[in-house]
Amino acid sequence: MTTVLVTGGAGYIGSHACKALSLAGITPVTFDNLVTGWRDAVRFGPFEQGDLVDRARLDAVFAAHRPDAVMHFAALSQVGESMSEPGKYWRNNVAGSLNLIEAAVAAGCMDFVFSSTCATYGDQDNVVLDESCAQRPINAYGKSKRAIEEMLADFGAAHGLRSVIFRYFNVAGADEEAEVGEFHQPETHLVPLILDAVDGRRGALTVFGTDYDTPDGTCIRDYVHVSDLVEAHVLGLRWLEAGKGSRVFNLGTGHGFSVREVIAAAEAVTGRKVPYIEGPRRAGDAARLVSGSEQAGQDLGWTPGRSTLERMISDAWRWHKVGHYEE
């Protein structure tokens, strides 16, 4: 494997994946429309600007670079926005992925790594979520990802496309060398919002809901360090390369932390108070999403060794202080 097409390679997770690929001796070709990604984040291989809804552009990029595999990160990923503007999610995520999958099959590029989400499981309080759990998404974001998973299975059956699907839990942290990091505009994710509130870059954090059926009333999530997460993708590529066939893996640690616990950890790491207020629930949020699976560990040999709250927040804090992309 020498070349991989990375859609969304200018985004948060995609840019870290490009670094991991280049460290593994593989050239990452970034395909990104720069709607939510950053040109500055493309540091480890060639850049092709384009949109997944533009099939001709995709065909040209496959012809120019002849990738051995695709890693597909490009997507809209905000739960709240997906509830108010579902059309954007069905068009960008679902129709865009259909174009990409058809272009890959047409180019004979049959190994595909896809970033899916634990949001496809929906709200299954207190159930340990493993890959065999029913997928009952409660927001349009999760529904769009579930639809793409189904699409990959159908293209596998019909055309022999091989896919590794990763269902992410909550991704946090940044490259330890701060070459790339998390920077969304607008920002909606918990850890960067906490760090912005800590240093006064924006106002107090709003905790979305304190009346959930959890020990402290706030939502519980399973946080994974982005550098651990992208290492699993390289292992997934190796899995496909070895001819081991299509598989679905959860990527989580099996440990959940509440919003209040994340705030406390950020206060310990930064040595400062996190200003916050308590607000109402956010539409589409499940009370508890924690991975119950060790499949990625057993089968891929994946160990999320950086995924402690302290390490994720301290790496994010270092990035927060030194690195931001040009707007």
| 149-188 positions binding ligand UDP, by CB under 6 A | 170, 188
* Of positions 221, 260, 288, 311, contacts ligand UDP by CB under 6 A: 221
Please report whether residue 205 would count as binding ligand UDP according to CB under 6 A.
yes
| 222-241 positions binding ligand UDP, by CB under 6 A | none
Q: Computed from CA positions of residues 278, 137, 89, 108, in that sequence, does the dihedral angle turn out positive or negative?
A: positive
Q: Which residue is nearest to ligand UDP (CB)?
A: 219
Q: Which residues 6+ apart lie within 8 Å of 81 measured at CB?
A: 88, 141, 188
* Of positions 140, 193, 269, 313, contacts ligand UDP by CB under 6 A: 193
* Of positions 18, 151, 259, 274, contacts ligand UDP by CB under 6 A: 259
Among the residue ranges 59-67, 95-103, 206-214, 294-302, the one whose residues contact ligand UDP (CB under 6 A): 206-214
Smallest distance from ligand UDP to CB 30, Å: 23
Q: At what angle do helices 140-159 and 96-106 cross, to 10 degrees?
A: 20
Please report whether residue 190 would count as binding ligand UDP according to CB under 6 A.
yes
Out of 12, 89, 121, 141, the active site residue is: 141
Please report whether residue 81 would count as binding ligand UDP according to CB under 6 A.
no
Please report whether residue 210 would count as binding ligand UDP according to CB under 6 A.
no
Smallest distance from ligand UDP to CB 66, Å: 35
Residues near ligand UDP, by CB under 6 A: 79, 170, 188-190, 193, 205-208, 219, 221, 259, 282, 285
